[in-house]
Amino acid sequence: MNFEGLIPISLFTQGEEVDLLVERGGQFIAIECKYAEHLDRLSLKGINALIKSYGSESLIAGYVASKTPRRYPLTDQISSVPGSFIDRVL
């Protein structure tokens, strides 16, 4: 996995958290890790709190790495991806 140009930064904390937050050029890639295959709105609350605090333009993309067998969109900016696929989106 090539992390060149990606700088891991501290987790987002404003009463919510994001499992992994990566800064790239002043914007973020937010990653949540969930054991579930089927996700609900609660799976997005950390990423949604990040968007609310910093604005949607601050988010390059949000991903929820889970047991899902395929990638699919959850919102315009957030996708569910198989956990084994997460290195391909970074």
Predicted model pTM: 0.81
Torsion angle, alpha carbons of 56, 43, 89, 13, to 10: 60
Quick: pLDDT tens for 3-60. 555 545 445 555 778 888 888 888 889 999 999 888 888 889 889 988 888 899 999 9
Beta strands in the chain (DSSP E): 7-8, 20-24, 27-33, 59-66, 72-73, 78-82
Give me the numbers of helices (H) and strands (E) for the chain, helices first please: 2, 6
Place of tokens 């050029």: 25
pLDDT for the residue 10: 47
- Structural domains of the chain in order of their starting residue, each with its CATH number: 7-89 (3.40.1350)
pLDDT for the residue 86: 83
Name the band, by pLDDT with cuts 50, 70 and 90, for residue 67: very high
